[in-house]
Amino acid sequence: MEARLDGVLTHRLTVVAAGAGWGKTTAVASWCRHRDVRTAWVVLEPRDDTPSAVWLRVVEAVRASGAVPAEHELMRLRVPPTVTAPFATRLLHLLEQLAEQVVLVLDDFQVVHDPQALAAVGDLVRYALPLHVVVVTRADPPLTLQRMSLDGRVDHVRAEHLAFDAQEVQALAAAEQVPLSAAGSRVLLDRTEGWPVGVRLGLRQPADPRTGTPTGLPDPDRAVGEYLLEEVLAAQKPEVRDFLVRTSVATTLTPELAEAIVPGAPAHRYLAELVASNDFVTPLGGGYRYHPLLRDMLMGTLRFEDPAGFRDAHVRAARWLVVHGDPLHALDHAASAGSWDLFGEIFVEAGAALVAGPQREAVLSAARRVPFVDAPQSALLELCAATDACVRGRIPAGHLHVRRARALLDELPVEHRAAADVLVEILAAHVALGRGDLPGTVSAATAATRVLDGTAWPFPAFEHYGTWVHDLRATGLCWEGDVDLARAELDRMLRDVDPTVASLTTLNGHAYLALCDAIDGRYDDAARRADGTLVLAENAGWQGYEHLRPAYAASALAALVRGDWHGADRTLAYGFAADVGGDEPVLLVALHALQVRVAVASGRIRAARVAFEQACRDATDVPLPPVAGDLLARAATDLAVHALTHDQRPDLLSPPARTTREVLLVCQARTALARHDVTAAVAAAREVLAAGVDLLPLTRVEALLVLAGTAELVGDTAGADAWTRQALDEAADARLVQPFVVRGPAPLRSAVDRAVARRSDELAVAIGGHLGRGAPVTEPTPLVMALTDRELVILTALATMQSNAEIAGELFVSVNTVKAHLKSVFRKLDVTTRRGAVRRGRDLGLLP
């Protein structure tokens, strides 16, 4: 058999498929032990039937194999809650870089059914990675690898290959000191067809003294489980039998967990003896594993003979596991016991924290096992439902469950109040954020902070909840314009976080710090921090997450004020494509408002109107906070000024928004200047400047330019020049280009042209580059539907003249997948050729 498995090292995939009792795992494990190969072993469980879980188990196993050097990027890579195409590409690239060959064993693969999870395993096989995948399963896996099978890259080991031959039967008989004649060996093989369990059990039957042939041979048609019970369980002492039956509730067993389930049992000794005496208990890493069929039979016996003991074993396992850092398995045990109060305790005090990581789907799946109709009303169970709803973006349902949970909090025992009080406020903050209620977000997060500060005995999720609270409070404070407080919250949140490792916490925190810098007018800092955050996300394959949108917004705002329209357009395109995790309405409004301003600055007025209408739709029923209100007000003003300058009526929607007084005044001043209402323009601009040193440079420069325009309008050329010079001087440090070049009234344009012509500094050169351009070309048709992240990557690749095959190789996808993406790109861009796609991409600012 081991010789047969030697083919593993010459194939991309080896499928070891046979029914129960054929010794699949034992054979593969023996081969791995006797070959000098790096082995990464994964025992899959039903909860692993998601792409994130599969990738997590694979990454952990490959790291544990010793094949990954400490400095390798794979050691720092984190699997996200939702696997995206960019992440899969990044992971496959890192696996490709491994210097050693690794045998990756995926045991119990029959539990994997999810198409995306199967596709993930297919990718491990399809591409030329230093991995030899061995799938151990009870049935052929539904992997679409026919072509690889035809060209010899896939091998199959089936029951006939695992079957004992006469020599192996004789060897086993000798090892177990069972006298067996040649005739007896033939009879045993005929009756069992080489079935290893049947042979082993047959050798334990009494032999005919005349022929040496075993009698009472096992009937292959009978259930394997019956034999396991008879031969393994019945042969044990009562105390060992009880130990086996009760500990069977655990999928993977450690001596410590076993002693928690069966107090007082000498678990170390029992497990060692069981391993030595039969093949149905095997060591696995730092623990032990019962043969799946044996475990099923033992649990069935426990459930039938002692229902109360069955529940007690699960409850004991759950309590031990949550204390020792495994809330996911603890939730499974609590659910199996039907102990929903315990389930709620574990979920609220530990399990909910896992939704930010790759075990998200497993946790939410566990939460959906709660029989809400039959279970008694409980604040803890309502919080389970609320968490599921909020993570899935079902904000109204989340609001309902949060409200119910809050009403039931007083019924909880005091020892469970702290975690529940914190989580109810965290979820309330999530609901408020999802509804665009930023003051509500801040209020709920602040309440959660007070609970955490007063908690004397931290629960397992204490630190995770603290991180969430800082994140939520900072988000609300940032949009409300309390930038210093928001930055302080983010600094506290990121204090002990490794800045080189991508996680939702790291990315969202740095993204909002970048946005804080941009709001504060610190555009160099904003661009640098945003770029660093986006590079970190790209290196980890996390660039599609909605948590990055604040960084995209900050980068786009910095590019806008510096006059880099194409850079801002590209950044915004990727910002809209970053939609994994949902759509925060306020962020969408901000991105569309920035899109309006970039489009107006670059002369694409139809596109600006489309973006403004979308911003207004997104703002419907959303109480926009001041920062988003300012962005939208400036966008509306840009469109209004353009319309008035071209003798058109500024027929724009007016979404309800809170706008800071200075921005409202400067927008009124700019609009009044476009209407040639000198008195109103001057009054508003001077009121803006009266705010003094606390005013942001951008707002001051806009007000100064209004005064320059009004002076030019009334024939005061000297005054216009003086105001324009002051505006240029104050704009120099921040390199503000956009206020000087955005299309506005002719008098202001004249004043700017004269002032710039007299200067040769960096800012004047940049402004002059825009002013010196000729009339804009015919405006391209606006892009109605945003491109996805992967479509943007494909479009960028088209500009490099890569073939479909080259693009596919770079992205670790099939050529057919590239063709499908191209078809979608062509449809969205309304083109039919690669050249047309590149040309239109450049016209829209999506390509350099």
> What are the tens digits of pLDDT across the range 321-348?
999 999 999 999 999 999 999 999 999 9
Q: How confident is the model at residue 225 (pLDDT cuts 50, 70, 90)?
A: low
Number of neighbouring beta carbons within 10 Å of residue 619? 24
Contacts of 584-588 with CB under 8 Å at 24 or more apart are: 584/433, 584/434, 584/436, 584/546, 584/549, 585/434, 585/435, 585/436, 585/618, 585/619, 585/622, 586/436, 586/438, 586/479, 586/622, 586/624, 586/625, 586/628, 587/546, 587/549, 587/550, 587/553, 588/615, 588/618
Residue 23 has pLDDT above 90, yes or no: no
**Domain range annotation of the chain:** 2-162, 166-222, 238-437, 501-582, 584-659, 661-773, 789-843
| Average pLDDT value for the chain | 89
Q: Is 221 a residue whose pLDDT tops 50? A: no
For 102-139, what is each residue's pLDDT tens digit?
Answer: 999 999 999 999 999 998 998 898 888 999 999 999 88
Query: Quick one: which of 669, 654, 834 has its CA closest to 744?
Result: 669
pLDDT for 151: 62
No. of helices (H) and no. of strands (E), the chain: 43, 7
Phi first, then psi, for residue 744 (nearest 5°) are: -145, -165
Instruction: Enumerate residues 6+ apart whose C-beta is below 8 A from 660.
Output: 481, 626, 629, 630
Nearest one of 488, 496, 518, 494 to 506, comparing CA atoms: 494
pLDDT given for residue 223 in this prediction: 46
* pTM of the model as a whole: 0.90
pLDDT tens by residue, 635-654: 999 999 999 988 777 766 56
Q: Does the structure show a pLDDT above 90 at 98?
A: yes
pLDDT digits (tens, 9 = 90+) for 545-573: 999 999 999 999 999 999 999 999 999 99
Confidence bin at 693 (pLDDT 50/70/90): low
Residue corresponding to tokens 């699997």: 79
For residue 203, pLDDT beyond 90: no
What integer is the mean pLDDT of 407-434?
A: 94
DSSP 8-state class, residue 229? I
Per-residue pLDDT, 56: 95
Query: What is the largest distance, in Å, between two alpha-carbon atoms of the chain?
Result: 128
Looking at residues 26-37, what average pLDDT do you find? Answer: 84
- The stretch 403-431 carries a mean pLDDT of 95
- For residues 723, 729, 735 and 740, what is the CA-based torsion angle, rounded to 10 degrees? 20
Q: Which top CATH class is 2-162?
A: alpha beta
Question: What is the pLDDT confidence band of residue 398, given thresholds at 50, 70 and 90?
Answer: very high
Residues 619-634: what's their mean pLDDT? Answer: 91
Domain at 789-843, CATH class: mainly alpha
Greater pLDDT, 376 or 232: 376
pLDDT at 496 over 90: no
For residue 218, what pLDDT band results from cuts at 50, 70 and 90? low
Q: What is the pLDDT of residue 211?
A: 59
Examine the pLDDT at 385 and tell me if it is beyond 50: yes
**261 or 202, which is more confident?**
261
136-145, 423-432, 652-661: the lowest-pLDDT one: 652-661
